[in-house]
Amino acid sequence: MATAILDLNLRTAPSLLKIDAKYDKAVVLARVDGHAIARLLVPAKDGAITRADILARLDESEQSHLNHILLEEALAIEAPEIVRPTATVAVCTRNRADDLRLCLAGILALPDDGQEILVIDNCPSDDSSRRVVESYPGVRYVVEPRPGLNHARNRALAEATGEVVAFIDDDAVPDHGWLRALLKNYEQRSVACVTGLTMPVELETEAQEAFEAYTTFSRGFRRRAFHSLNHDPLQAGIIGSGVNMSVRRSATLRSGGFDNTLDAGTPTQSGGDHEMFTRLMVHGFKIVYEPTALNWHRHRRSREELEKTVYGYGVGVYSSLTRALIVEREWGAVLVAFSWFRHIQAGRLWRALTRGTPTDRLILHELRGCLHGPFAYWASVRRLRHTGGGRYD
Amino acid sequence: MTEPEVSVVIPTHNRCASLLRLLKALRQQDFPADRMEVVVAADGCTDDTHAAIKAFAAPFPISDVRLSGLGPSHARNAGAAAARGRILLFIDDDIEPLPQLVSSHVSRHRASGSDRFVLMGYYPTQISTQTGFYAAALATWWEEAFEAMAVPGHRFMYSNVFAGNLSLPRKVFQDLGGFSTEFPHPGGEDYELGIRLAKKGAIFGFSRAAIGLHYETSDIRRSMRRKRIEGVSDVCIARFHPEIVPRLRLSWEAFPLSERIARWAAFKAPWVSRLIDWSGLGGARIAEAVGSRRIWIRFCFFVLSANYWRGVAEATNSLDGLREIVERGRDASEATVARVLELQLEDGIASAEAQLDEVRPSAVVVRLGDALVARWSAEPGAEDFHAGHLRSRLATHNAYAFAVAQGIKALRDEAPENTVTKSRTKAL
């Protein structure tokens, strides 16, 4: 059965919420005014969810977070003044005009702090995306003819005028405070990248629920800072994802732009974002995971797309690790692969072989992808060499 | 001519190119040039520094104070003596200020409403493209030092005072007699000034907007030397201000084994200490080659620790000397009487804040009715409390959260009575 998504301000939420009969449970994003503090799974009773039930499900740390917010309010503590950098919001898109329209509507609804809005259309097969952008005055439109998401991202870095480039996927929509939450972390010069929390915008189909269960974009509600001295740079998955990330342009260009051999549009299919996280950390920069930088993503609806996506993640991770081994001579990549298998994949594989539900069996697609990874990397490098392009431009 | 509002004092020694970069950046400041002046205290410069200063076309007055190689403390003091501005702004010559640095310092002073406000500016290490562990570790050390100061309600310590990007009223600096010139090697004078500033009741602040880029050119060997100097400086500080001793590393007893070895070697077997240097550096190099950051850090800590204790041994000459200093310190800190202020929150936060500003206590007890909510104890070398500390510290104190939470008519109560029919997913 499908899951409802509720975005609730605990202050104003009514005591009883009725939800549509087709949902048997709800994922509740609990906020205190604008501030998101928890994500709770609440079963519905007789087609309704009670506020008391929601509150009861807050665990200790969420409670104390809630109390802390109320306390700061009671003490009338002024928010400190933040020095914010200039920003460009960049959407890399390809043949998804309807999603793009919703994404742009969300971006234009953000508070106007003078940010630039940029759409990079990657290798489009028609002009539908261009027509969507034209209907939104003030949005820049650029075509990047070389196929590949990282090519598009590098183009965004080249075309942007802001100090910070905030990326959002074309099938995602930003929350009202998304950009400001990202930008406030750039006060520290050593921060080169800030990632955010991504919630599913809907969980209507089984494939979407399976995606959310198997490989959620959420990294929790606690702000975390990652740098090479407290975190293994190769373990980049936990930091966040390209669906909700921002980079400081100067730092990124100094470390080399996005690696054109990786991510969607190339044989490696994914991993271009995580490789950038790794490289920034290796160069001594800090990456912050900012849970208040919230956006909403529509997961792929069909089973086939889901399997393809999970397969693509497997390919991407192993392609990245292969790249780390070959290009950076990072032997730790081998350890990461082993560790990932031992701690996560092995358990899932066991469940797939013994229990065998469709969600369980996703691991098989992922592992297939992993095996394909090194070859995909090799194919991607050859393809890039063939087109005569550079790795980072 | 009226006195300038701010005097930028730059101690420098044979770093002409760096100095020029700094001067050019001062030319780009958004603070009006007719209200500032620059005083360069050129200490024993044998390169083109003097010629470059003379040739430098600036919209603000620049003066050039010559010294014969006496060290940065003398240089800063001499620069301050030649300055006429109301506010002294010390900037090191390896820093490149961003355009809003000077104006940020000045506006914070204006906003402080105090005649003894001390502002620390932000000067993060420029991360070059080198990917070495040392560069990352150094940048991280600085960034964490600044991050600690940026926490709202932070109680500033003498160890937060860094002279590389610092401003304070000239009168306060003169009344205190400037930086100490008694240290045998340059290093530690900013902490020592911090102690005296805290004793004088200064109010400290930190501003990220007052930002300069710090072009640190350092390596592990320079860090080792600095650590050794830190050992010597800590002994000096202990002699000048015995009550600080419990805060200094040289007085701590509960060590890991490596620290105890380092201390023993420094006093009893200097050749072992040098062996630690040699083997530790070798081990660190290997660790970096195989990519193990954790092991690399361990080796570095060991080597730096050995150097620190060599400095302490150099300055105290014997373990007995050290013991004497530590005991004297313990006596002095026990003899220090804390000025305690008792606050009753039922009288309102505004009243509590007013009391803090008036009394500037070194220790505070906060009550809400009969409940004890917070107890902030006296700390040698820390600034006295003021109004700006109250709310932020209360917000992070669990006891208060508990007390207030009981009173907060919050989300636990019944909500608005209506029910709502919603079959909503996030509106798309």
pLDDT per residue over A194-225, tens digit each? 999 999 999 999 999 999 988 899 998 999 99
> Is A176 in the B-facing interface, judged by CB distances under 8 Å?
no
Asked whether the beta carbons of B138 and A183 are under 8 A apart, the reply is: no
Instruction: State the pLDDT confidence band at B425, using cuts at 50, 70 and 90.
Output: very low
Going by C-alpha positions, the residue among B351, B393, B347 that lies closest to residue B373 is B393
Residue of B nearest to A191 (CA): B143
Within 208-227 of A, beta carbons closer than 8 Å to B belong to 227
Residue B133 has pLDDT above 90, yes or no: no
Where does residue B115 rank: exposed (0-12), middle (13-18), buried (19+ CB within 10 A)?
Answer: exposed
CA distances from A60 to A56, A67, B110 (A): 10, 10, 43
Report the pLDDT averaged over residues A179-191.
Answer: 93
What is the secondary structure of B358-419 as a DSSP string? Answer: HH--SEEEEEETTEEEEEE---TTBPPP-HHHHHHHHHT-HHHHHHHHHH---TTS---S-E
* pLDDT tens string A221-256: 999 999 888 888 898 999 999 999 999 999 998 888
What rounded mean pLDDT belongs to chain A?
90
> Is A17 in the B-facing interface, judged by CB distances under 8 Å?
yes
Tokens of B219: 């390596």
Q: At residue B99, what are phi and psi to the nearest 5 degrees? A: -55, -20
Distance separating alpha carbons of residues B169 and B126, to the nearest angstrom:
29
Q: What is the value of pTM for the model shown?
A: 0.88
Q: For A71-78, which contacts have Cβ atoms below 8 Å and span 24 or more sequence positions?
A: A71/B394, A71/B395, A71/B400, A71/B401, A71/B404, A71/B405, A71/B408, A72/B395, A74/B404, A74/B408, A75/B349, A75/B391, A75/B394, A75/B395, A76/B349, A76/B391, A77/B152, A77/B391, A77/B392, A77/B395
Most confident of the following: B96-100, B218-222, B332-336, B392-396: B96-100
Per-residue confidence (pLDDT) for residue B421, from 0 to 100: 44
| Secondary element (H or E) of residue B41 | strand B36-43
Within 132-171 of A, beta carbons closer than 8 Å to B belong to none
Residues of B in contact with A6 (CB under 8 A): 422, 424
Report the pLDDT averaged over residues A121-132.
Answer: 92
Residue B158 has pLDDT above 90, yes or no: yes
| Percent of chain A's residues with pLDDT above 90 | 57
Going by C-alpha positions, the residue among B86, B87, B88, B36 that lies closest to residue B59 is B36
Residues of A in contact with B424 (CB under 8 A): 4-6, 19
Instruction: State the pLDDT confidence band at B113, using cuts at 50, 70 and 90.
Output: confident
Chain B closest-CA separation from residue A380 CA (Å):
26
Residue A29 has pLDDT above 60, yes or no: yes
Distance separating alpha carbons of residues B371 and B211, to the nearest angstrom:
43
Task: Check CB contact under 8 Å for A67 and B405.
Answer: yes
Residue B402 has pLDDT above 60, yes or no: no
Alpha helix segments (H runs only) across B28-154? 49-55, 72-82, 101-112, 133-150
Tokens of A294: 């919230």
Residues in a beta bridge with B343: B366
Task: Check CB contact under 8 Å for A5 and B416.
Answer: no
Residues of A in contact with B107 (CB under 8 A): none
* pLDDT tens string B313-372: 999 989 999 999 999 999 998 888 889 999 988 888 899 999 999 999 999 998 877 777
> Is A10 in the B-facing interface, judged by CB distances under 8 Å?
yes
Instruction: State the pLDDT confidence band at A287, using cuts at 50, 70 and 90.
Output: very high
Per-residue confidence (pLDDT) for residue B368, from 0 to 100: 78
The ipTM value here is 0.83
What rounded mean pLDDT belongs to chain B?
88
Per-residue confidence (pLDDT) for residue B1, from 0 to 100: 57
Chain B closest-CA separation from residue A77 CA (Å):
7
Residues of B in contact with A283 (CB under 8 A): 127, 129, 131
> Is A300 in the B-facing interface, judged by CB distances under 8 Å?
no
> Is B349 in the A-facing interface, judged by CB distances under 8 Å?
yes
Asked whether the beta carbons of B12 and B93 are under 8 A apart, the reply is: yes
Residues of B in contact with A331 (CB under 8 A): 290-291
* Strand boundaries in B94-241, DSSP class E: 95-97, 117-122, 165-169, 203-214
- What residues contact residue A335 under an 8 Å CB cut-off, 6+ apart? none
Per-residue confidence (pLDDT) for residue B69, from 0 to 100: 87
Taking the CA of residue A361 as centre, how many other CA atoms within 13 Å lie in the half-sphere pointing to its CB?
8
Furthest-apart CA pair in chain A: how many Å? 63
Report the pLDDT averaged over residues A93-122.
Answer: 94
Task: Check CB contact under 8 Å for A71 and B136.
Answer: no
Residues of A in contact with B146 (CB under 8 A): 188
Instruction: State the pLDDT confidence band at B400, using cuts at 50, 70 and 90.
Output: low
Residue B428 has pLDDT above 60, yes or no: no
Per-residue confidence (pLDDT) for residue A184, from 0 to 100: 93
Task: Check CB contact under 8 Å for B136 and A255.
Answer: no
* pLDDT tens string B229-268: 999 999 999 999 999 999 999 988 878 898 999 999 999 9
Distance separating alpha carbons of residues A176 and A90, to the nearest angstrom:
16
Task: Check CB contact under 8 Å for A72 and B415.
Answer: no
Within 207-226 of B, beta carbons closer than 8 Å to A belong to 208-209, 211, 213
Q: Which residue has the tokens 């320079």?
A: B222
Per-residue confidence (pLDDT) for residue B408, from 0 to 100: 54
Among B208, B408, B411, beta carbon nearest to A10? B411
Per-residue confidence (pLDDT) for residue B128, from 0 to 100: 65
Residue B407 has pLDDT above 70, yes or no: no
Asked whether the beta carbons of B377 and B336 are under 8 A apart, the reply is: no
